[in-house]
Amino acid sequence: MSLADQYAKWPNAEEQATHSAAMTEKGFAGCVGFVDGTTLPFAERPEDNGNFYYDRKSDFSLNMQVVNDRH
């Protein structure tokens, strides 16, 4: 958490405009950033269909996509 302010911050107005313009060109109007392919590991194998959640890192996890907009 001591590094949060250094690495996790909302973009300023200029950065938002730049990112939003780039995202609009790609079909994501209003989007200022996203993370794709992040995995959320489970503490243990899910009871139902557990093997469906086995990933390439030998963990049980879900793949997540996050999109941040200006609203």
The average confidence (pLDDT) of the chain is 82
Please tell me the distance from the alpha carbon of residue 13 to that of residue 15, in angstroms, as a whole number. 6
Q: What is the mean pLDDT of residues 6-17?
A: 80
- Write down the H helix ranges in the chain: 4-7, 13-25
Model confidence, pTM: 0.44
The confidence band for 39, taking pLDDT boundaries of 50, 70 and 90, is confident
Q: Would you say residue 70 has pLDDT above 70?
A: no
Please tell me the distance from the alpha carbon of residue 20 to that of residue 27, in angstroms, as a whole number. 10
Cα–Cα distances in angstroms (integers) from residue 2 to residues 9, 10, 49, in the given order: 13, 17, 38
Q: What is the mean pLDDT of residues 36-50?
A: 88
Dihedral in degrees, nearest 10, Cα atoms 19, 22, 28, 33: -30
